[in-house]
Structure 1
Amino acid sequence: MKKSEKLILDSVAFISGFPIEGECFTINEVINELKNMYTRTRAEIALSQGKLRILEPSRKEIEKVKRIAAKTGDLLNLSKTDIKLIALAHELNGTLITDDYDIQNVATVMKIKYRGIYERGIKEVFEWKNICKGCGKIFPLNYKGKCDVCGSELKKIAKRSKK
């Protein structure tokens, strides 16, 4: 870890025992996700020692993340916590510590650095869309139901691009 590097911690950082050193940040929602007594205590000790700070991203950054996640098709898979973590990392120009592929996908598009703990990280950026199995018509990801042209089921597919 670089001395001036700002790390934004997802719950996996606490669960894995990731060293909380340097400039570490998270959001309240991540702390609230920690149900195991050991991981919760670890986070609370880091907070009390000043090794970890809780910050909230700006509304502007949150909206930016939502817009980009909607374009990539990840918005429906991201929780409010995920969106806020990405927004905070972007706002602080920090590195996200997460194993969540949806977070990593949006982070890559937004040019946010990230590091996985148990997983290596994504190899490709995905853009998701719904396509009709019958006629191939493309629908928005939030569209529910069958194709309005041919009545066939829709399938979520990924359009790949290099990282």
Structure 2
Amino acid sequence: MNTEKQLYTVSIYTENNIGLLNRISAIFQRRHINIESLNTSPSEIDGVSRFTIVVYMDEVGMKKIIGQIDKQVEVIKAFYHTEEETIYQVSGLFKIKSDLLFEERQIQNIIKESNARIVTVNKVFFVLEKSGKREELKDLYEKLSVFGIMQYTRSGRIAVTKDEMKISKMLQAFNNN
């Protein structure tokens, strides 16, 4: 078993209950593990939510945490995956003064080169959206920060596994009960 620290993507399929997020985050907190990224959303199964959590830790600890998460009453099943086992994206929004869009040719080049897209433009500001790997957003942030960024936010990771998740059959059984 791997005792080397690495990034893991944790997928937790749950009933949508109040207070579950606190209990799940407490499991990481008790072990002094920082959550790098957190996203909650509906899953592919109606009525079932999915937490996607990114943590940096070793596999031994990861297996213990998955066991503790699985014991939560509302948790249907928890999984963990390495970077190589997932396809993932994050999304960022950048709010920038509008006059820069027209006065700074370099901004237009940065937008094209980064494959960012303009979401909205008005007289005061424009908003860029960029989806990709965290490093791509960081790189775009660094290039744009030279000109001044009015606001910036980045989403948590969203991910799917390269291999089939066996959760669908489990969830069908869960829904039939």
State the TM-score, normalized to the length of structure 1.
Answer: 0.27
Larger Rg: 2
Q: Per residue, is there more strand in 1 or in 2?
A: 2
State the TM-score, normalized to the length of structure 2.
Answer: 0.26
